[in-house]
Structure 1
């Protein structure tokens, strides 16, 4: 056997592992920066001179701006990259920009909230744009029969990598003297620096091992942009004519909205019950480390069962999580919720990515995944509204948690109408 262990279609395991390691690399940004330290450090260090309500507004506006830009840029960027077969080059550019912006956070002094927010917005936009190009490269490293396994490997390594660095960063903030640091503030600044280095170093295997199919057209940038926009318009019309694709995107939007709402609601709910920050960080680490084997396990399950059935399983568990949240009163119950989320979160996300890859034409994977990621950015819109309206109508925050089940049911029902075999027959 060669070291590459080629599959029937000629795809190498070396390239698949190199591709999956990008999830290990960039998940550090999602865990340490986005979910972990940036929101807290922004309030207590960069925007400490402002009232809590003002800093919350600043953070919310910055996050919203990044999301809004990605909504429009993701499908356009995917179309341009597809047109010239430049997905790897586009991924390299987005990664370099995100790494540089994250690295620069180390140098932002106290009180400079605008500089910190500007760098965070740049890093966030680049992070999400990079995911468009990264996801679309799945078709260049695996045959359709291996999409589930390889996609799950990526998510699994992402949970592990993000969890490992987050654990180190948490230790740095709890015991800064162990790392030769003066205090917690210095530890957080070095945590941002560590994310940039981690992301940059572990991205290299993808660029060294993955080969993008097709020849670059060598078009001038202006022509590539205008051509990409025209191609995107054609793709949108194609999607509307491909019943399986638009049905899946609608189903995905509904149930992934529920997934994102549960994630956000769990933390907020824990705070409302008086659980401390250390308990919340411990729960986040629990999700990361359970998510690693669970995501890979879902890939194994899909290969022996069926991808859609495995997604259904994840949605059923999420429905049970919503019900569990209604009765949640103690910290140990919060940890049970976190463990359950870790069991299915990566599986639902990874199998959704691999199932969508089966529905689309390989030559337009960048454009289609641009729209797929755009739908993901639209997520967590219906859920919070549903939760808020239910809470107002019932006067119970606990009752509002149950309302999220509607999104999982609606998404699951629509998913039953999608047939990947029919989609490929029409490709």
Structure 2
């Protein structure tokens, strides 16, 4: 074979890889609107108001006969959805790797979640149980789809590309979230001029996030391609693979025990990311209920987070090229700790200080998430991407039920959201200590992967 043919083949392979990468970015664009508009901005305060409308004179609702303070219902619903995701992700990951059919699974999760989100248009009056059920379905599908989506990263990007590719994906997602929030803000703030009530405007914003999620998921589903791993079978039917999911999960856990340094990273990530996810899902409740800020202020604050998170993800991606992803993540955890400690002391009804807090969060949010994803991709043995990323998602979101649960219990017991928010500092401080102890170069080599020049 001539050198020209070899070079041509390499160029074609690189071009095909870049095309997949560009398609991959679009799933961040598609589902980040759910994370931003639904989970972070609108659903928490709105579902809380619906639950309060259904509450008894003492302020409690009674799902399944259990007395729950109305102000804690959203946090408990988020926690329940993540507990269910814990059960779903390992089976989905084993199924994806065993059959090599990630795209159909990704599509099924994306469109089920999008449909549940669109159904939130019918959430009104005192239908808090409907809201809780739709939240649980949408969030489980969101989490499982993100596990499948993330597992494509080591297959579509070379080791020295992953920090940049992952950071671009996060930036793309935050850009989409910011764009839709601008439209949401216009609709919400000017709902009278559009001839709709405030509640209807919120329900339109919720439902439109589902439509957006479904529409833009078409692009990655067209461009990404399935790959057969070493343990997959072209003839194996999904039903048969699903029946062996538990056995495959046990094999995955046994295999992961042979990579203790990968497990050490996951433990550190589990701890600090629990704090990140709780901030994302509970920030609007803290702002509206504890600080007395109106919905317009919250939307502007989250829009600020989106814009700065996109810039922060790209900036921290460049910092990782200079200082390494490991050091850059550690620096972001210091910033998280200082920011959350300051957040505890925010005065009520002071939008300027809340905007300052949002800006600080935005600058570290995107980068810490993007670099954690790309760093973990180096620790995954080839051919086991979906299974290992199911464990990553267990740390990313599946075990992040603990933060919302603690948040909800603290409010249930004390009636103060400040007491709930202060506990999150511990997650970042402990996560820093655990991550600093992980020798990432040895971990990458132990997984059988090439070690980048700077990590």
Normalised-by-shorter TM-score class: 0.7 to 0.9
Q: Is 1:66–2:81 an aligned residue pair?
A: yes
Match of 1:21 among 5, 22, 26: 26
Q: RMSD of the TM alignment (CA)?
A: 3.1
Counterpart of 2:104?
Answer: 89
Match of 1:78 among 93, 108, 127: 93
CA distance in 2, matches of 1:77, 1:274: 41
Q: Counterparts in 2 of 1:259-270, with a 5 A limit?
A: 259-263=276-280, 267=284, 269-270=286-287
Match of 2:274 among 226, 249, 257: 257
CA apart distance, 1:252? 0.6
**Paired residues of 1:286 and 1:342 also in contact (CA < 8 A):** yes
What SS class does the counterpart of residue 176 from structure 1 fall into? coil
Counterpart of 1:304?
Answer: 322
CA distance in 1, matches of 2:226, 2:408: 43
Match of 2:374 among 342, 345, 354: 354
Listed one character per residue, the Cα deviations across residues 158-177 of structure 1 (whole Å, up to 9, x for unaligned) are 11111211221222122125
What SS class does the counterpart of residue 362 from structure 1 fall into? coil
What SS class does the counterpart of residue 275 from structure 1 fall into? coil
Bigger CA drift: 362-371 or 42-51?
42-51
CA apart distance, 1:24? 1.1
Bigger CA drift: 169-178 or 122-131?
169-178
CA distance in 2, matches of 1:11, 1:306: 27
Q: Judging changes above 3 Å, is the alpha-carbon distance between structure 1 residues 10 and 226 closer, same or farther for their aligned structure 2 residues?
A: farther
Task: Return the TM-score normalized by structure 1.
Answer: 0.87
CA apart distance, 1:15? 1.6
Match of 1:313 among 318, 331, 334: 331
Counterpart of 1:415?
Answer: 435
Match of 2:361 among 329, 341, 365: 341
Counterpart of 2:5?
Answer: none
**Paired residues of 2:189 and 2:296 also in contact (CA < 8 A):** no
Structure 1: 5+ residue runs without aligned partners?
none
CA distance in 2, matches of 1:116, 1:384: 18
Counterpart of 1:293?
Answer: 311
CA apart distance, 1:216? 5.2
What SS class does the counterpart of residue 157 from structure 2 fall into? coil
CA apart distance, 1:384? 7.3
CA distance in 2, matches of 1:109, 1:324: 36
Listed one character per residue, the Cα deviations across residues 190-234 of structure 1 (whole Å, up to 9, x for unaligned) are 223321221122112211222222275232334201333222111
CA distance in 2, matches of 1:116, 1:373: 24
Counterpart of 1:162?
Answer: 177
CA apart distance, 1:96? 1.2
Bigger CA drift: 360-369 or 42-51?
42-51
Q: Counterparts in 2 of 1:17-416, with a 5 A limit?
A: 17-44=22-49, 48-51=53-56, 52-54=59-61, 55-56=70-71, 58-107=73-122, 110-178=125-193, 180-214=194-228, 217-263=234-280, 267=284, 269-270=286-287, 271-329=289-347, 330-376=350-396, 377-379=398-400, 381=402, 385=406, 404-416=424-436
Bigger CA drift: 263-272 or 371-380?
263-272
CA apart distance, 1:118? 2.4
Bigger CA drift: 21-30 or 324-333?
324-333
CA distance in 1, matches of 2:204, 2:266: 39
CA apart distance, 1:351? 0.7
CA distance in 1, matches of 2:215, 2:198: 25
CA apart distance, 1:31? 1.5
CA distance in 1, matches of 2:345, 2:205: 36
CA apart distance, 1:107? 4.2
Q: Judging changes above 3 Å, is the alpha-carbon distance between structure 1 residues 196 and 381 closer, same or farther for their aligned structure 2 residues?
A: closer
What SS class does the counterpart of residue 53 from structure 2 fall into? coil
Bigger CA drift: 339-348 or 14-23?
14-23
CA distance in 2, matches of 1:323, 1:65: 27
Q: Judging changes above 3 Å, is the alpha-carbon distance between structure 1 residues 9 and 415 closer, same or farther for their aligned structure 2 residues?
A: farther
CA apart distance, 1:117? 3.0
Counterpart of 1:426?
Answer: 446
Q: Judging changes above 3 Å, is the alpha-carbon distance between structure 1 residues 7 and 355 closer, same or farther for their aligned structure 2 residues?
A: farther
**Paired residues of 1:258 and 1:383 also in contact (CA < 8 A):** no
CA apart distance, 1:133? 0.5
